[in-house]
Chain A
């Protein structure tokens, strides 16, 4: 069983495009997961994991949420050799309950993964997934496809450095004013109940999104660690606007996180 307690500072919690649409916030999150492996054959097993997550935001409390889910993953490893690759197929479903009821709903992912060691210090993993989310408002009925590549570099007792790059193609949700650009990009929008004093609209649009993460995991004894990471999110709308737009259409956000991980 794993329990993680994390703090995140997000400089663009709205995934806003222009400076007057960008809000920052900080949050505390508590994650818990418990797994159980079922052996099927010597090199094939099923891992079932229960997931629970609570997140409390500081400035915009209606973004706070409680989610719970289940993941099932079938893992296959050709052999016990050091450089043997582990292949996996997974399905994961969450139920989401937000203080902003428009966001209430569920989300799930299905995909495949592969993981293997390149050297005794470097481990590489990759993932392809289909992701869907369904919510009270259609704005958060989001579908995307993602490809992820992760590289872990072990520093031995001093921990692990990791780099993650993820590409997502599909829907993103942003918040902003009811401007021509935003409405033109939007597939659907709604007055967002997470920012009740702002009269802001949340809108779903198609985008190409790059998420890059660099992090460092510092062991704290055998069953605990401290993880520090910086994640950069950049979305570029796929819709083509037939008029000149001042400034960029990109949405950029940065998340800085520090997480205490504890295994029981």
Chain B
């Protein structure tokens, strides 16, 4: 899509920046990455009142353009690099009207870069409620830029903001805030001359950030370093001086533009909620309660839509069998692709519910309270309060969670968090657990409210958190860190979740799951179907010949004969051969060769397990009666003993294997991208595989 003007949204975290982005662009947005870095880039399009189209970029929330984490560093590099293809024509700075002072720091920094700026004064309703009155016209006059009061949540002022964007100047007209030259006079001038920069603040920022900026050549960076030594530049001292100067400017500015009530400290609603939610005892009880409720909900609310989807697929397969002429191609489509897909599509309701909960927890501000409560505990095991967010996000998917560790400033804390996040039960394990629990745990209630299957699932989730914490504690003694960690974090006021955002996140994540998992699953099921339907040498002919003999055709019913032939063929197919090769290794865990095949395919992605099972048992089953995966596995019998394959011991042993094993190619790839070193994913893969084997072995032998 071609846009006429490029607009960047910049603002502090929790100022409603994402809400504004959603309001401006609606569903017309896409999520990608900034080139070269893994920072998530959200871009959308918006029609302006004058008919032009604006491309809107949502930059990560930050308190200043001095980055404290990787995420934040993208803000300065997008704004400052004139060769960056994402460099905006216009910056919309979103300010929280109820907390102007701190918000204006970032504004004044961005404004001094001399890019055209518009201010969107958000949360005017909140400010009014707190009796803060703002003279918007005077503020605009003092700043020299348009100031548009809006309420992104209530969709107020959005049209005016769009108008302001379309009338925006091509040139930066804002007033200077501070005299940059007083901070490092000679250095700023020298860098300006050397690099042909006429903006003193940009020159100063290059002095601060040259080491991490990708658009500087190594020679340029070295030259800046030399100049710094020449003029004995101390980055931290200079930043401190700048911050104090900026706040002096802001205090001056706010003196006659904003009036606040001079009332003494009063107990507001947010504080009263905090008294309960971060209470010494109730705080943790409520947190556990919320987690328990979340998992119960995932299990019980999804039951009905899941069975609808499953039945739908069975119906489709049934009909296709009647419509399509029988043959290998029809079999590939119905028993390979559709069987594999149905195994995974069934889990869309659970994934949508999970993401809904996570986005509600983040949106309301509760997640930062959890961070606050857990910091001390987390620090004991070598993590950081902020590790809680990736760990809880890990319930959904390790990939975005590992990316979200970028908010953890300390290197060691961040590495340990990355190493243990894949242990947390992610949504891809959910299908595996749900299926196996349904097979061996009775669907009964105990103590009236707790469903036994729900409890078993909750148990797996709690177990995964405990193991993540224990492994983190071990890594704490292995890894050596040098920088000191700190924990300076805003606790935003509680808000009602924005249901639109919640729905959008459910939709986005489910779509991503279907598209990503879908591709892998179709590929894997096709390969698997081929491997399971054809065998090496002339084995298949021999089987056909053997069962054509009269001793079989006369003494067996047609149905059981075709079953026997199919299972003999499966055992001698390529897949069967592969399964038999690894069987000796996995036999001590209680797994047979069919499960072995599922384990192999699961190394692409865990959820493939269900699809593989569906494919494996479809090949084996009769074509007339289509069944769900659950029914197929439920009826699976060990050919030697005649006992069910999936006993309590096997099912739990299998769950333990999936709990620990690193069966996810995307996670390994993202760990590599985040750490820039193959050693990390390799270590992770190794330790997780060892743990998986050990846990599985112990479980199987205890329960057998």
Q: Do A and B bind each other?
A: no
